[in-house]
C-alpha cells in the first residue's frame, strides 16, 4: 500500500489543491470508519501493540509514543478514526473561543521537493462551544488519549487573550486528557507575542483558573512554542514552565523561516506567508528540544514535533528528551500506513538499543540539568 500511495500522490494528489485533498481524505476516513466495527478492526491491525512502545506520561498510559499533531482535526470530528490509523494519541484543534473561518483560500500549499507544507489557515474552526457539544455527544464511545489545543480568537484584543483562552478551557476541560495553550502559530496577528514570559504567565493563570472552575484543576496543561524563538527565550519559557508547574511543552510549531529550501524561489514565493512544516524544520526543532531538556530535565514532559519522517527521526527526539512525539506532514507524504511504520521501526530500535521500553531511552543523549538552577 505504501507504493500505491506514493504513485497516487505523485500522479494525482500533488496536482490537486492541498486543502481540497485534505477535506476529501478526511471525509473518506470518517465515512469508512463509521461502519460498525471497522474502526476497531483497523485500529487493532494498525495500532501500536508492541509492549516496549507503551508510555506513561501526563498521568495517562499511551499505547505508543507517536501522536497526531493539532491541525488535522480542528473540530474534533473523528479522533477515533484518526487513532485507528495507528496513532498512540490524537490532539485536536486549534480551537478558539469563537467560531471563525480563518484566512482566505488558497491557504495550504505543498513544497514537494522539500517534503514540506506551508499553511496560513488562521485557526479556522467551529468554536469551542460547538466542539464541546460534539465531544459531549460522542461520550461513551471508545476514544483515544485526547489532547485539546486552544488558541486565541483572531478578533480578540491581545489584552483580552487570557479571558478568551479561559473560556475555551472551561468549555472543553471535561473532554480532554491534556490541554495545550497554543501561542505559537504565525497565522494569527500578535499571537506569538504571547510567548513572552510577561504575557504568558497571566494567560496560563487564567487557563488554570478556568480548569479549576470546570472541576479539572489537575488536568495536564502544556504550552506549544515556536521554533523561531531565540535561545534565551526558549530558556525563559522552560524556566516559566518549572516555576508555574506546567506539565509539558510541545516543541515546536511551524516556522516562518524559508532558509535552505530546495524548492525553486518562485514556488516558495507563490505559496506566500504562513507556517512551514515538514523536513526543513527537523534540525531547528531538535535543537529547541535539546535545549529544553537540558534546562528542565525530566521535571516537565516534552513532546517533539516538526520534521519527523522516519523511525530514526522519532528515536532521535526520544533520546534528546521527548517522552512523546507527534507528526502531521509526515502523514501527508507518508500515507495512511505511516504511523504503523514509525511505531514498528521504533520498537525495533528500542530492542536494538538494549532498552526494555521507549521510556528508558528518554533523554539519554542529553546531560542532566543542574538541579540547583531553578
Q: Which residues are catalytic?
A: 185
Is 121 annotated to bind ligand? Answer: yes
Q: Name the 3-class secondary structure at 121.
A: coil
Nearest to 71 by CA among 250, 311, 323: 250
Is 152 annotated to bind ligand? Answer: no
Is 113 annotated to bind ligand? Answer: no
Cell numbers of 93, please? 484543534
The total of other beta-carbon atoms located within 10 Å of residue 105's CB is 13
Is 123 annotated to bind ligand? Answer: yes
Is 122 annotated to bind ligand? Answer: yes
33: enclosing H helix or E strand: helix 18-34
Q: What residue has cell string 469563537?
A: 98
Is 119 annotated to bind ligand? Answer: yes
Is 120 annotated to bind ligand? Answer: yes
Is 74 annotated to bind ligand? Answer: yes
Is 33 annotated to bind ligand? Answer: no
Q: What residue has cell string 535545549?
A: 291
207: enclosing H helix or E strand: helix 197-213
Say if residues 117 and 170 touch (Cβ distance below 8 Å). Answer: no
The count of residues in the chain is 374
Q: Name the 3-class secondary structure at 296.
A: helix
CA 178 to chain centre: 12
Strand 116-119 relative to strand 145-150, pairing = unpaired
Is 125 annotated to bind ligand? Answer: no
Is 71 annotated to bind ligand? Answer: yes
Is 103 annotated to bind ligand? Answer: no
Distance CA 100, CA 156 (A): 12
- Where is the binding site for FMN, in residues? 70-74, 94, 149, 182, 224, 252, 278, 307, 328-329
Annotated binding site: 70-74, 94, 119-123, 149, 182, 187, 224, 252-254, 278, 307, 328-329
Binding residue positions for substrate: 74, 119-123, 182, 187, 253-254
Amino acid at each position: 500500500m505504501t507504493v500505491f500511495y506514493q504513485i497516487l500522490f505523485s500522479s494525482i494528489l500533488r496536482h490537486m489543491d492541498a486543502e481540497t485533498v485534505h477535506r476529501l481524505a478526511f471525509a473518506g476516513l470518517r465515512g469508512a470508519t463509521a461502519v460498525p466495527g471497522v474502526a476497531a478492526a483497523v485500529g487493532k491491525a494498525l495500532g501500536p501493540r508492541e509492549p516496549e512502545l507503551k508510555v506513561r506520561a501526563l498521568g495517562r498510559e499511551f499505547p505508543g509514543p507517536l501522536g497526531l499533531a493539532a491541525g488535522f482535526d480542528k473540530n474534533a470530528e473523528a479522533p477515533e478514526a484518526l487513532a485507528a490509523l495507528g496513532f498512540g494519541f490524537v490532539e485536536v484543534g486549534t480551537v478558539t473561543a469563537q467560531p471563525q473561518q480563518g484566512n482566505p483560500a488558497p491557504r495550504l500549499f505543498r513544497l514537494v521537493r522539500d517534503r514540506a507544507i506551508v499553511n496560513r489557515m488562521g485557526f479556522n474552526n467551529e468554536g469551542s462551544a460547538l466542539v464541546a457539544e460534539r465531544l459531549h455527544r460522542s461520550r461513551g464511545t471508545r476514544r483515544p488519549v485526547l489532547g485539546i489545543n486552544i488558541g486565541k480568537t483572531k478578533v480578540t484584543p491581545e489584552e483580552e487573550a487570557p479571558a478568551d483562552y479561559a473560556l475555551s478551557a472551561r468549555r472543553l476541560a471535561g473532554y480532554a486528557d491534556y490541554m495545550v495553550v497554543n501561542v505559537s502559530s504565525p497565522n494569527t496577528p500578535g499571537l506569538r507575542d504571547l510567548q513572552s514570559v510577561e504575557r504568558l504567565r497571566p494567560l496560563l493563570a487564567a487557563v488554570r483558573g478556568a480548569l479549576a472552575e470546570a472541576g479539572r484543576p489537575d488536568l495536564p496543561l502544556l504550552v506549544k512554542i515556536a521554533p523561531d524563538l531565540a535561545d534565551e527565550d526558549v530558556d525563559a519559557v522552560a524556566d516559566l514552565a518549572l516555576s508555574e508547574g506546567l506539565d509539558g511543552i510541545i516543541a515546536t510549531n511551524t516556522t516562518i523561516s524559508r532558509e535552505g529550501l530546495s524548492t525553486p524561489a518562485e514556488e516558495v514565493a507563490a505559496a506566500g506567508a504562513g507556517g512551514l512544516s515538514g523536513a526543513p524544520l527537523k534540525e531547528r526543532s531538535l535543537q529547541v528540544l535539546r535545549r529544553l531538556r537540558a534546562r528542565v530535565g525530566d521535571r516537565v514532559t516534552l513532546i517533539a514535533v516538526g520534521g519527523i519522517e522516519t523511525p530514526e527521526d522519532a528515536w532521535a527526539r526520544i533520546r534528546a528528551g521527548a517522552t512523546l512525539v507527534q507528526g502531521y506532514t509526515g502523514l501527508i507524504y507518508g500515507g495512511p500506513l505511516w504511523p504503523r511504520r514509525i511505531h514498528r521501526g521504533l520498537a525495533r530500535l528500542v530492542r536494538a538499543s538494549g532498552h526494555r521500553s521507549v521510556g528508558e531511552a528518554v533523554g539519554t543523549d542529553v546531560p542532566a540539568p543542574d538541579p540547583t538552577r531553578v
